[in-house]
Structure 1
Amino acid sequence: MKRFGDLAPSLRTIMTPGPVEVDPRVLRAMSFPILGQFDPEFTAIMNETMEMLRELFQTKNKWAFPVDGTSRSGIEAVLTGLIEPGDKVLIPIYGRFGYLLQEIAQRCGAEVVTITKPWGSVFEPAEVIEALDLHQPDLLAIVHGETSTGRVQPLAEIGKACRQRDILIAVDAVATIGGVPVETDAWCLDAVIGGAQKCLSVPSGMAPVTYNERVERKLLARKRVEAGLQSGTEVPDENRRPIIQSNYLDLSQLQDYWGPQRLNHHTEMTSMLYALREGLRLVLEEGLEERFARHRLHEKALVAGLAAMGLDFYGDESCKLTVVTCIAIPEGIDGESVRSMLLDRFGIEIASSFGPLKGKIWRIGTMGFSCNQKNVLHLLGALEAVLIRHGHSLPAGAALQAALEIYEGG
């Protein structure tokens, strides 16, 4: 019989666009005793989590809670709840994850209209607003921070334009929540999906979402018709709305579970909720503005070091995503060999990319708990050494000195 040894994952310096290193206080919270899902202590933890999520999303929405599952579960829950077969959905695509929104919307039976931008850039708000007027969709689904290209899409004008036209807007903020401002109410965003495993520094497994009364009205309209169909009540043809396909990801049922009724829907992921609550507590303890400033500081030091090394950056600088930095792989350098040596010799992980950028860029994440001075300096020194070992000529020592200048107030 085969014997298995103790589980002992290696310690890594994770500098990818997710997942990232988890704060030890979050890991400690996951070791706490299990409570029953309807124990008053546990429902109080649920309520505290919702309260903290409202602060994180900068919203007064009634509904702000996690969907149990990875970030994609939150995206699917929102889109399957909002999209009825035949609805027109506009999706601006400027990277890999716009195509994910397109695929999910198509699976929901939507009439999908896309507009595209070359990877490495984003849309001017006027371009999206023009498409809203041309296509008059029921829903706009858009990515806020595109980790495949390291770009961030401005949303304030787009959200307000949607509200003026009575068009719903759903935003994938998986990569930005907790690291970059996401102003749900000020930007007139109807539904926003966040991610746990990126700037929140919580293990993957929960997807925080928030949505307003405009979204809730659509959810409840579909729920009422579904209940009528199940009970045999005759529903006029003009009021028939297709049933929400997923039971597990049905937001109308999840809000009954998270709301005061506490109607049983599923067994809550107890330890993951502990982790999310602690992660949110740490975010709010640091302060949102202070946290955003920390991410900007370490990005600035990283960029200064990479530039001093003589490396070229990918993408339009004016729309760079603070928490992801993309570098063009130098000509003649095997990008995967560099990544392997960084991991094997230094215990540092950085990311490659997807689709048309595969093998052309490296992506370095400075997110959440991984976003700190030790990690930035460690990475710069290691990357310099590895590139020299690969025969790339660069000014030795310049990267660390440039980063230190930033940290010393230069």
Structure 2
Amino acid sequence: MTIPGPISPPPRLLMGPGPIGAYPSVLEAMSAPLVGQYDPFMTATMTETQELYRGVWATTNDATLLIDGTSRAGIEAAIVSLVRPGDRVLVPIFGRFGHLLAEIAERALAEVHTIEVPWGQVFPVSAIEEAIVRVQPTLLALVQGDTSTTMNQPLDEIGALCERHGVLFYSDATASLGGNAFEADAWGLDAATAGLQKCLGGPSGSSPITLSPRAVEVVQARKKIEAGIREPGDPSARDFVRSNYFDLGMILDYWGPRRLNHHTEATSMLYAARECARVLLLEGRDAVIERHRIAGTAMLAGVQGLGLTVFGDIAHKMNNVVAVEIPEGVPGDIARAALLEEDGIEIGTSFGPLHGRVWRIGTMGYNAREDAVMTTLAALEALLRRFGAAVPVGGGVEAARDVYRSA
């Protein structure tokens, strides 16, 4: 057996739909020394991180913390802890990740109902209300920004709608938090989860979550029922959270004042998550969202300046990612691989009906900046020309530059 040398990744400019390059200070934070699980520094850092993420989510929720795992871990923790077997769950689907929410709810033994719109569109509030009235769900599970389609579902009226009908409101904000407006309290969210690897500018591996007092009541009620189970087959076992690791009742005790042991905190990821939130709030939440808006507008103008067709309803596009139709005659996957191998720039393909049809180009986190946008557009122009596409000379860079000049 030959022992390999130290890890040495190639330099990459990650301009796809995520993951992205982390802020340098986040990488530095991850290299900080480890401490014990109940070291006062550790528990103080957990408390600091909770307060920082209240600012990120725009909430006063006490139950604001991290789930150790990728963004999907946060999604699963929220759904399996809020949904009892047999509960009705409504999932409006406008891209790949709505299907994911539906699958996780099915695995939690919910009665799942879905509504769909064509990829590239979002739901009008009226369609969601009609479905709520018809289905009468316990939980509405709705993605905010779905990177598979690049669409950003408006949420600002949904919370009040759910409250009127007695429905819990959960949103997956993995792809959108930090780069697009998200107002957990003002919009009436009961639960929301995200990941670090998109607009928050960190590595995948930690999932911020926030829970309203109403959601906490549901979680705590299930914990009390669980504690009362005595015999196998007890009818109350239907309320038993079917995951130990993702049981929010126990995780809340772990992050709460008593710090009851549940698992060993992922220390380096805690440091990373803390730094992601600290960097965002230091720059200013609104300023970071505006930076993403400008970078996204510049990239949009740039790909249009190259003559590329943008997929989907541009009025509802996320700030941080754009999908473009691959020009006829250009081999999408081969060209994308060439961009990575020769220029060190990664852009994304897509899923399902869009695979091989579009490229997804992201401007998020640390890479939501002018030089990254210009470098990507210049390389994309050269790539397209090399594969036979007729593109205006300098059209992408100049169009993007105009956006920055007028910002």
Scaled by the length of structure 1, the TM-score of the pair is: 0.97
Which residue is 1:370 aligned to? Answer: 367
What is the distance in 1 between the residues matched to 2:126 and 2:118? 17
Q: Give SS of 2:207's match.
A: strand
Which residue is 1:179 aligned to? Answer: 179
Equivalences for 1:247-326 in 2 at 5 Å?
247-326=244-323
What is the distance in 2 between the residues matched to 1:404 and 1:266? 49
Deviation per residue, 1:186-212 (Å, 9 max, x gap): 111100001111111111110000001
Q: Give SS of 1:207's match.
A: strand
What is the distance in 1 between the residues matched to 2:48 and 2:232? 39
What is the distance in 1 between the residues matched to 2:323 and 2:271? 33
Give yes or no for contact 1:228–1:234 (8 Å, CA) kept in 2: no
Quote how far apart the aligned CAs of 1:242 are: 2.2
What is the distance in 2 between the residues matched to 1:241 and 1:211? 22
Scaled by the length of structure 2, the TM-score of the pair is: 0.98
Deviation per residue, 1:91-132 (Å, 9 max, x gap): 000100000011001111111110000000010011101111
Which residue is 1:354 aligned to? Answer: 351
Q: Give SS of 1:177's match.
A: coil
Look up the equivalent residue of 1:216 and give its one-letter code: V
Which residue is 1:245 aligned to? Answer: 242
Quote how far apart the aligned CAs of 1:325 are: 0.3
Q: Residues 297 and 50 of structure 1: is their aligned pair in 2 closer, same or farther, counting only changes over 3 Å?
A: same
What is the distance in 2 between the residues matched to 1:216 and 1:405? 48
What is the distance in 2 between the residues matched to 1:351 and 1:72? 19
- Range with greater deviation from structure 2 (2-11 or 304-313): 2-11
Q: Which of 387, 390, 395 is equivalent to 1:390?
A: 387
Give yes or no for contact 1:205–1:272 (8 Å, CA) kept in 2: yes
Equivalences for 1:115-134 in 2 at 5 Å?
115-134=115-134
Does 1:16 find its partner at 2:21? Answer: no
Q: Give SS of 2:157's match.
A: helix
Quote how far apart the aligned CAs of 1:233 are: 12
Give yes or no for contact 1:82–1:215 (8 Å, CA) kept in 2: yes
Runs of 4+ in 1 over 2 A off after TM superposition: 232-235, 239-242
What is the distance in 1 between the residues matched to 2:287 and 2:130? 36
Give yes or no for contact 2:329–2:388 (8 Å, CA) kept in 1: no
Percent of residue pairs identical: 48
Which residue is 1:46 aligned to? Answer: 46
Structure 2 gaps, min length 5: none
What is the distance in 1 between the residues matched to 2:233 and 2:91? 36
What is the distance in 2 between the residues matched to 1:304 and 1:165? 41
Q: Give SS of 2:5's match.
A: coil
Which residue is 1:206 aligned to? Answer: 206
Which residue is 1:97 aligned to? Answer: 97
What is the distance in 1 between the residues matched to 2:176 and 2:139? 21
What is the distance in 2 between the residues matched to 1:68 and 1:89? 25
- Range with greater deviation from structure 2 (311-320 or 400-409): 400-409
Which residue is 2:4 aligned to? Answer: 4
Quote how far apart the aligned CAs of 1:168 are: 0.3
What is the distance in 1 between the residues matched to 2:339 and 2:268? 33
What is the distance in 1 between the residues matched to 2:33 and 2:128? 49
Give yes or no for contact 1:59–1:184 (8 Å, CA) kept in 2: yes
Which residue is 1:379 aligned to? Answer: 376
Q: Give SS of 1:140's match.
A: strand
What is the distance in 1 between the residues matched to 2:318 and 2:276? 22
Deviation per residue, 1:325-347 (Å, 9 max, x gap): 00001111101121111111110
Q: Give SS of 1:279's match.
A: helix
Which residue is 1:161 aligned to? Answer: 161
What is the distance in 2 between the residues matched to 1:15 and 1:234? 52
Give yes or no for contact 2:67–2:209 (8 Å, CA) kept in 1: yes
What is the distance in 2 between the residues matched to 1:164 and 1:192? 19
Look up the equivalent residue of 2:87 and give its one-letter code: D
Structure 1 gaps, min length 5: none
Look up the equivalent residue of 2:385 and give its one-letter code: I
Which residue is 2:64 aligned to? Answer: 64
Quote how far apart the aligned CAs of 1:3 are: 3.3
Q: Give SS of 1:89's match.
A: strand
Quote how far apart the aligned CAs of 1:152 are: 0.5
Quote how far apart the aligned CAs of 1:234 are: 12
Q: Which of 312, 331, 337 is equivalent to 2:334?
A: 337
Give yes or no for contact 1:222–1:241 (8 Å, CA) kept in 2: no
What is the distance in 2 between the residues matched to 1:139 and 1:406? 41
What is the distance in 2 between the residues matched to 1:366 and 1:243? 42
